[in-house]
């Protein structure tokens, strides 16, 4: 008999990544499970099939996103498939052997190569060796912006200069002017090479959000810049009003998506951190309701080796009768004082 549970990806099995939380008596009884990095209803079957060594579902899923021009989904699914291939490569090796010229397999191969090189102390050197894979993915479908997002990440990791990065950026936005993944890659590059210059990062994020449609994930880019500022004790202070405006944009965007679904969970988890850091408790509680059970490793793995446990502790604190001035464990560096009309969280309070 086939052990179907063993075929499920680790984040779908009832392990330390799936826990049930209980709430105080004043809150809804029964609690609900929290799941870490859960795939959506389209990616999940592809991962289960990959666990059996079958690549057809993954191939079909990415082919559908490419044909329909669903670039945000394509980017997200590519990351998920590459992450699974790092620990279970057999199905992907079979895919590459059966279809060496396949555009979707080439895309996953490029992402996988970057992911494998990234943790190494020799990252820059290793990344230079995988450049041909990214070029092949870009040439496989000239419309696709996702290879260019990978190229932007690759340029940051390999310490490419500004001129080269700008050329990649122009090629990326020519294909998809409001692709969120490319914008995040650019923001990370700016944060790396303008370390401490958070105002420049905010300028980039604000301008991108102003140009993007109301329902675009790029509306969350200023909140991403706020997250970078709040987790980095470097550079001049950013006005509280700018931080609140960034959070407000992301709150409005989050409300456009269905609640308790895995797709917007990465954006909502980062927004939750920003809201907590700003002391906006009611907004944070509302965001918890929209997140539902869908915790994500990032940003909580920045503060704990147990990201799900960190999320659950934060959730318990927020849903308790009196949330703390700031939950312990969510600051890696001495925080700045945060002043404003929505509350105050001084350094001494943390």
Q: Which of 4-18, 37-51, 263-277, 282-296 has the lowest mean pLDDT?
A: 4-18
| Region of residue 248 (phi > 0: left; psi between -120 and 50: alpha; otherwise: beta) | alpha
Q: Considering only CA atoms, which of 142, 229, 219, 143 is closest in space to residue 178? A: 219
Rounded CA-CA distance 259/289 in Å is 7
7 band by pLDDT with thresholds 50, 70 and 90? very low
Q: At residue 10, does pLDDT exceed 90?
A: no
CB-based contact 44:8 (threshold 8 Å): no
SS3 301: coil
- Residue 321 is predicted with a pLDDT of 79
pLDDT tens, 312-334? 999 999 998 776 555 556 754 43
As to burial, measured by CB atoms within 10 angstroms (0-12 exposed, 13-18 middle, 19+ buried), residue 338 is: buried
Cα distances (Å, whole numbers) of residue 255 to 136, 226, 264: 38, 19, 10
pLDDT at 329: 63
Q: What is the pLDDT of residues 95-124, one digit of tens each?
A: 999 999 999 999 999 999 999 999 999 999
User: What is the rounded end-to-end Cα distance, in angstroms, of the chain?
Assistant: 54
Rounded CA gap, 104 and 174, in Å? Answer: 21
Percentage of the chain modeled with pLDDT above 70: 83
CB 115 within 8 A of CB 86: yes
Could you give the 3-state DSSP secondary structure of residue 8?
coil
What does the pLDDT read at residue 6?
32
């Amino acid at each position: 008999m086939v052990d179907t549970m063993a075929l499920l990806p680790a984040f779908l099995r009832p392990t330390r990544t799936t826990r049930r939380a209980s709430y105080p008596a004043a809150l809804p009884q029964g609690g609900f499970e929290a799941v870490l990095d859960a795939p959506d209803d389209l990616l999940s079957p592809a991962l289960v099939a990959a666990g059996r060594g079958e690549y057809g579902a993954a191939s079909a899923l990415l082919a559908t996103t490419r044909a329909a021009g669903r670039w945000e989904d394509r980017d997200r699914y590519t990351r998920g498939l590459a992450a699974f291939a790092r620990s279970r490569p057999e199905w992907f090796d079979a895919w590459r052997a059966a279809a060496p010229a396949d555009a979707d397999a080439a895309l996953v191969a490029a992402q996988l190569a970057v992911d494998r090189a990234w943790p190494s102390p020799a990252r820059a050197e290793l990344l230079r060796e995988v450049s041909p894979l990214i070029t092949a993915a870009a040439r496989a479908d000239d419309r696709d912006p996702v290879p260019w997002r990978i190229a932007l990440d690759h340029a940051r990791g390999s310490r490419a200069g500004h001129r080269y990065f700008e050329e990649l950026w122009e090629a990326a936005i020519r294909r998809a002017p409001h692709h969120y993944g490319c914008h995040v890659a650019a923001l990370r590059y700016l944060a790396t090479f303008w370390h401490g210059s958070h105002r420049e990062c905010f300028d980039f994020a604000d301008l991108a959000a102003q140009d993007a449609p109301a329902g675009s994930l790029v509306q969350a880019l200023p909140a991403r810049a706020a997250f970078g500022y709040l987790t980095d004790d470097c550079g001049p202070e950013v006005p509280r009003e700018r931080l609140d405006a960034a959070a407000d944009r992301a709150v409005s965007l989050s409300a456009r998506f269905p609640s308790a679904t895995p797709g917007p969970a990465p954006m909502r988890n980062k927004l939750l951190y920003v809201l907590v850091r700003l002391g906006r408790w009611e907004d944070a509680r509302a965001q918890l309701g929209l997140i539902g059970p869908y915790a994500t490793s990032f940003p909580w793995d920045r503060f704990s080796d147990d990201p799900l446990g960190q999320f659950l502790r934060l959730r318990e604190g927020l849903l308790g009768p009196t949330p703390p001035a700031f939950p312990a464990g969510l600051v890696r560096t001495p925080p700045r004082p945060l002043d404003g009309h929505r509350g105050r969280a001084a350094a001494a309070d943390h």
